[in-house]
Amino acid sequence: MPATPHLERHFTASATVRDIVIGMSDGLTVPFALAAGLSGAVGTSSVILTAGLAEIAAGSIAMGLGGYLAARSDAEHYVSERAREQREVETIPELEAAEVSQVFEAYGLTPAEAKPVVAALRRNPPAWIDFMMRFELGLEPPNPKRAPISAATIAGAYIVGGLIPLGPYWFLPTARAGLTVSVVVTLLALLVFGYVKGRFTGAPPLRSALQTALIGGVAAAVAFAIARFIA
């Protein structure tokens, strides 16, 4: 009787999810707080829409640029560290071999058990360097297209998130009416987003949903209170 094949399904798009979380969380929170704050100072929705759309444009560009530079920095760091490991393998191989043995010993192998594996790695310098990068430094090879993808993902998620709290102001002429609907819609979006984020990241979904909604709600309430106080 043939055995059922064992299939392991692992989530591998953690970097993309991280970018979506960064962009969406800020996109939902910052324009929401801005719109709430302006609603405490002005009476018409048109001013809030203009300011909100300007903020979304500027925020998405800034967030996307930040993601791009962060990804480029990670790639440059990997290249630099790999070049250093290659020099050390070539110039101080005995010390590097001892470090490999220490890595295996940390996993419970004895020096005698690790010795043949170390010898095999020494015969294959590229694999040796790959091993040191992953298990000594904890660095994975970066995706060469990661920087522009990260920038586009963060910026796009920011725009999508930012349009949600501004949506009601398109259809309601007064700021107070727009704020009321915006609060309901945005808090629901924060709850859903927080729940989905928790499912993907492994955090308790309900706790993640409540935390995300609480942060967004507090930010909007503070902005509204400050605007009302100044006005």
Tens digits of per-residue pLDDT, 55-75? 999 999 999 999 999 888 988
In a domain, 18, yes or no: yes
In a domain, 127, yes or no: no
Residues in the chain: 231
In a domain, 196, yes or no: yes
Phi, psi torsion values for 225, nearest 5 degrees: -65, -40
Tell me the C-alpha distance between 103 and 97, whole Å. Answer: 10
pTM over 0.85, yes/no: no
Range of the domain at 43: 14-69+153-230
In a domain, 58, yes or no: yes
pLDDT per position as a tens digit, 82-118: 888 888 888 888 888 888 888 888 888 788 888 888 8
10 three-state secondary structure: coil
In a domain, 214, yes or no: yes
Res 88: pLDDT? 84
Burial class (CB in 10 A: 0-12, 13-18, 19+), 122: middle
Which residues of the chain have a pLDDT value below 70?
Answer: 1-13, 201, 227-228, 230-231
In a domain, 211, yes or no: yes
DSSP state of 43: S
Tell me the C-alpha distance between 227 and 206, whole Å. Answer: 32
Q: How many domains does the chain have?
A: 1
In a domain, 220, yes or no: yes
Res 227: pLDDT? 66
Res 228: pLDDT? 66
In a domain, 24, yes or no: yes
Res 110: pLDDT? 82
Tell me the C-alpha distance between 56 and 188, whole Å. Answer: 20
